[in-house]
Amino acid sequence: MTNSNKPNLRSPRSPRSGRPVHIVGTGSYLPDRILTNADLEKMVDTTDEWITSRSGIKERRIAPDWMCTSDMGTEAARRAMEQAGVREDEIDLIICATITPDMPLPNTACLIQHKLGAKRAAAFDIEAACSGFLYGMEIGQQFITSGTYNTVLVIGAEKLSTIVDWQDRGTCVLFGDGAGAVVLRSRGPERGILTTCMGADGSKGDILFMPAGGAKFPASKESVSARMHVIKMEGKEVFKSAVIAMQTAAEEALKKCNLTINDIKCIIPHQANLRIIDAIAARLGAPKEKVYINLHRYGNVSAASVAIALDEAAREGRFQRGDLILLVVFGSGLTWASCVIRW
């Protein structure tokens, strides 16, 4: 028996006090339209070989013009609620993590609240880029742990195709559209989410950013013609920071729970780049079979990535009730987060 197959004989420790919080339903939504690497070869100076070897991505989903982030978020939420057996009038709070809200105001969570008919729910967005979904889960968990709310819907939803620079081959090949969601509840004494670790480094905000559209550079003819409303990225710097931050965050979460990587059944990392994921798995000493990957089909969907991957991994039976799973993410900010769950 290899180390990685050894059963977990120790009891994981949860550093949390208060009510335990569980993921009682997951859901995701991907638009139908597939944009392949071959399609991108016709749009910019690139090749399937370059994109595949540098990122692992083969295709991504692109939402139609009429479909907004809130539409995808609503559908993912409906699927999570259906699986959880939760009605819209039972939801106390909706948190939507996104960097592509339908509009600056009202927030996307309010638009989703209306589309779901979840009239009792408070609703707000958070922006922590690709880390937003785990940041949102931690916020939702705190409300349940404290006893303030019973049922929280956390959504990661993105229409990144609207902020990608379709003339920049260095970034446009990496991103896609979609949404994922979870329903959080306290389901009994047995622990669900054991711990979440979050971090940020604002000094590196300029390696992955979108300069205009906020208070610093409001939309103007000049900002549009200077192409300031699209993602700008220093890929190599982001790559290096992502590997270090995700490794550190994963190790911190395991340590807090008195676990080793051998105790983890499935690792679900942010789906940005296969080489980043492989580097993290190697540094953590995790065999590749433990790592869930779907970026070849969807590319990087920012805040939605780990939510979609969690839903797909759960529905594919990659882990069973009682198994330990590790989520770890990284994004613009810079931000990062990790989370250990007893499923």
Q: Which contiguous run of DSSP H or E holds residue 90?
A: none
Torsion of CA 241, 268, 31, 68, to 10 degrees: -60
Answer yes or no whether residue 183 interacts with ligand ACO by CB under 6 A: no
DSSP 164: S
Answer yes or no whether residue 179 interacts with ligand ACO by CB under 6 A: no
The DSSP string of 172-206 is HTTB-EEEEEEEEE--SSS-SEEEEEEEE-GGGGG
Query: Catalytic residue at 339?
Result: no
Which segment (27-35, 117-125, 165-173, 281-289) binds ligand ACO by CB under 6 A? 165-173
Q: How far is the CB of 234 from ligand ACO (least distance, A)?
A: 8
Among 186, 331, 336, 339, which residue interacts with ligand ACO (rule: CB under 6 A)? 331
Answer yes or no whether residue 302 interacts with ligand ACO by CB under 6 A: yes
Please return the burial class of 150, using the count of CB atoms within 10 Å of its CB with bins 0-12, 13-18 and 19+: middle
Helix (H, G, I), strand (E, B) or coil at 137: helix
Query: 269 is written with which tokens?
Result: 């990392």
Please return the burial class of 334, using the count of CB atoms within 10 Å of its CB with bins 0-12, 13-18 and 19+: buried
Question: In terms of CB distance, is 33 or 169 closer to ligand ACO?
Answer: 169
Among 141, 145, 196, 332, which residue interacts with ligand ACO (rule: CB under 6 A)? 332
Report residue 210: phi and psi, to 5°. Answer: -125, 110
Among 37, 55, 145, 294, which residue interacts with ligand ACO (rule: CB under 6 A)? 55
Query: Catalytic residue at 270?
Result: yes
Query: 37 is written with which tokens?
Result: 């690497």
Which residues have a Cβ under 8 Å from the Cβ of 104 and sit 6 or more positions away? none
Q: Interface mask (CB under 6 A) for ligand ACO, residues 235-254, using x and -?
A: xx-xx--x------------
Q: How far is the CB of 170 from ligand ACO (least distance, A)?
A: 4
Q: Interface mask (CB under 6 A) for ligand ACO, residues 14-53, using x and -?
A: --------------------------------x---xx--
209, 202 contact by CB (below 8 A): no
Q: Which contiguous run of DSSP H or E holds residue 13?
A: none
The catalytic position among 107, 273, 294, 300 is: 300
The catalytic position among 68, 130, 197, 339 is: 130
- The Cα 276–Cα 272 span in angstroms is 7
Question: In terms of CB distance, is 48 or 323 closer to ligand ACO?
Answer: 48
Q: How far is the CB of 283 from ligand ACO (least distance, A)?
A: 16
Which residues have a Cβ under 8 Å from the Cβ of 135 and sit 6 or more positions away? 97, 126, 128, 198, 335, 337
Q: How far is the CB of 3 from ligand ACO (least distance, A)?
A: 29
Q: How far is the CB of 60 from ligand ACO (least distance, A)?
A: 13
Q: Interface mask (CB under 6 A) for ligand ACO, residues 97-136, using x and -?
A: --------------------------------xx------
Q: How far is the CB of 228 from ligand ACO (least distance, A)?
A: 17
User: In the chain, where does DSSP find H-type helix?
Assistant: 37-41, 48-55, 69-84, 108-116, 132-145, 169-172, 221-225, 235-256, 274-284, 295-298, 305-315
Query: Catalytic residue at 114?
Result: no
Q: How far is the CB of 64 from ligand ACO (least distance, A)?
A: 22
Show which residues are catalytic. Answer: 130, 270, 300
Summarize as ranges the residues that interact with ligand ACO (CB under 6 A).
Answer: 46, 50-51, 54-55, 129-130, 169-170, 173, 208, 233, 235-236, 238-239, 242, 272-273, 276, 300, 302, 331-332
